[in-house]
Amino acid sequence: MKRFISLLLILFLLSAMPLALGEEITYTGTVTGGTLNMRAEPSASAKVVISYKSGTEVEVLENDGTWCKVKKGNKTGYMMAQYLKIEANYPHIGWGKTKMRDSILNIRKSADEESPVAYKCLGGAVLELIADAGDYYKVRAENIFGYVKKDLITPVEGEFMPGLSFDRKDALSVSSLQSAPREVGSPLNRSKTEGDFTYSITYPDMDMPMADDGILYAIQWMLKTAETDYEANHVGEKASLTVEYQSLQVDEHHQSVLLLGEYQVAGLSPILFIRPLTINTQEQWTCDGADLFENPVNPDARLLFALESAVAPLMGTPTDGYTGKPDTGWIDKAMLTRNGITVFLHAGYYLPLGLGARAVELKYSQIAEYLNIESQLVSAHIRTIDPTKPMIALTFDDGPSEQTDRILNVLAQYGGKATFCVQGINVEKYADIVKRAVAEGHEIASHTWNHKKLTDLSDANVRSQLTRTSDIVREVTGGYEIRVLRPPYGSTNKRVRNICADLNLVIAHWQVDTLDWETRSSSKTYRAIIKGAKNGTIILCHDLYSSTASAIEKAVPELVAKGYQLVTVSELLSFHKDGAQPGTVYAYLDPENIDASK
């Protein structure tokens, strides 16, 4: 019932306009769907003052949800709200992340710490800054305008979304846990009413001291945080804290518990406290999300891409301009499940505030390599290459292009990996393909910025051809580091090799040239691949031609059936007995040089 009331409140606030909060906020209504009448009174039978065509913009003075009082030039009247697309106009000076992570932030109705609270969220959320007001910023959080002390805000780069029009129905809430599984632990409850503050806390007794300590600590923290805020800001108002849980038996030795606490002061947005725990029952330890990942401080670009792909569908269509990702703090709110890692995002962390808190799942198939957990569930997804069995490195130059997806599709189907030697100049246009290739475990190599013969260039220009390409790939993928150069025309000299050594780039030539660029024949390209296939070889193709994509669609299943492991150049060279040396040219890996113990 509580959710229903707060949802109604949000709907009410969306339709009622906070005119009292700031005269600088105005509203524009755009007429949609045909002609719209402006009437003298808010009634469908009132006299028509004038009609406006679709696309006409009017100033909206009042809005009761059904009728808007509007103004256009010297005409004033009423229009039906449902036929107007209404947008708020207000100043914008940037975005700010609130400090004091995990503690409650109160947005005040005026620039005064004694003034009533207009909106509550957790520190760490991103707010829109709309004006400088002395010691305060005037901010917007969802549809609410208010004030926050400047020393509680860190301005952040990037463009975020105010999140006015999102659908909150799938947001995480305590009531969403009511039908969730409780596979482990016995439920306990603590409830109490102290004046106008009521709490009801349901949590599991796991019968394991480490786990139970962690759970008790989490619920005590929730209670203390809510009570402290209540006593400081809301005495005399109705408020409640409700805690519920979900628990899972993940595999033989792992269990996970999610505790959700909802702190609600009557009339204000609820605050959700999220505490996921993963428990190792064999070794009797408990950990939070950060311990589940190999490198939580500086996570791999592919892990970030997996998160980005998981949250993208939540944002619906208005994703343009959302480029900001405040930090990697999300990583500590995560737990193990049977399919992957579920990551919990507080409202305003990573996603727009208007979406509320969200849970997204990163599948083991995407992220197994970045996890720090010993489980069959994880190891089943880790890529293993057996260097005692034959390996081939397929390489694709000059792209990406429209053809690249077809090649990625067949590699995904047969579990092979390849190396895409991209021209930097193409990367922005085909950023989604580059990101997909990285996310699926392929290698991105450099083929220079715009296909220059490096031996003809000055040192400075060679460097710029290489660093520009590495930079753009790093930028679009969120951190992928290029380690291999495929020089156009295979052209290198001592000078180029020295620069590559300095930039930590291995140089990859090829042993098999399919001549696909010349023949443009799928059958000839296919035959060249099959004929050239042997252990340790590097095969040159170009992902520019549909004939090449067709040849690959035919060759990949055949190579896999013959027992070849399709590996990237870096994977192949990682088995070289001397390791892959930056600045050195490799056209294949001689099986004599394979160190199978690597």
**Would you tell me which residues interact with Ni ion (CB under 5 A)?**
397-398, 488
Nearest in space to 503 (alpha carbons), one of 573, 445, 545, 542: 445
Of 229 and 397, which CB lies nearer to Ni ion in the complex structure? 397
The order of strands in the sheet holding 57-63 is 48-52, 36-39, 75-80, 67-72, 57-63, 26-31, 84-89
Of 465 and 565, which CB lies nearer to Ni ion in the complex structure? 465
- Six-digit token string for 554: 């035919």
CB of 430 to Ni ion, least distance (A): 16
CB of 554 to Ni ion, least distance (A): 23
Which residue type does 385 have? I
> Please, are residues 416 and 558 in contact by the beta-carbon 8 Å criterion?
no
CB of 447 to Ni ion, least distance (A): 6
Quote the distance between the C-alpha of residue 548 and its chain's center.
33
Distance CA 367, CA 372 (A): 11
Of 244 and 397, which CB lies nearer to Ni ion in the complex structure? 397
CB of 401 to Ni ion, least distance (A): 12
CB of 473 to Ni ion, least distance (A): 16
CB of 488 to Ni ion, least distance (A): 5
Report whether the peptide linkage leading into residue 400 is cis, meaning its omega lies within 30 degrees of zero.
yes
Of 398 and 543, which CB lies nearer to Ni ion in the complex structure? 398
Pairing of strands 419-422, 443-446: parallel
Distance CA 434, CA 480 (A): 10
Of 99 and 453, which CB lies nearer to Ni ion in the complex structure? 453
Backbone angles phi, psi at 163, to 5 degrees: 75, 40
Question: What DSSP letter does each residue of 330-354 carry, written as one string?
Answer: GGGSEEE-SSEEEEEE-TTSSS-GG
Nearest in space to 259 (alpha carbons), one of 347, 349, 174: 174
CB of 451 to Ni ion, least distance (A): 6
- Six-digit token string for 68: 């808007």
Q: Is 584 exposed, middle or buried (0-12, 13-18, 19+ CB in 10 A)?
A: middle
Of 362 and 394, which CB lies nearer to Ni ion in the complex structure? 394
Of 256 and 423, which CB lies nearer to Ni ion in the complex structure? 423
CB of 397 to Ni ion, least distance (A): 4
3-state secondary structure of 14: helix
CB of 371 to Ni ion, least distance (A): 37
CB of 568 to Ni ion, least distance (A): 18
Residue nearest to Ni ion (CB): 397
Distance CA 568, CA 392 (A): 8
Q: Which residues make Cβ contacts (< 8 Å) with residue 265, sequence separation at least 6?
A: 117, 120, 230, 233, 234, 237, 238, 239
- Other Cβ atoms less than 10 A from the Cβ of 235: the count is 11
Distance CA 6, CA 348 (A): 18
Of 288 and 397, which CB lies nearer to Ni ion in the complex structure? 397
Of 128 and 398, which CB lies nearer to Ni ion in the complex structure? 398
- If phi over 0 gives left and psi between -120 and 50 gives alpha, with beta otherwise, what is residue 267? left
Residue 565 bridge partners (DSSP): 391
CB of 491 to Ni ion, least distance (A): 10
Nearest in space to 22 (alpha carbons), one of 136, 161, 157: 136
Of 125 and 454, which CB lies nearer to Ni ion in the complex structure? 454
Of 300 and 397, which CB lies nearer to Ni ion in the complex structure? 397
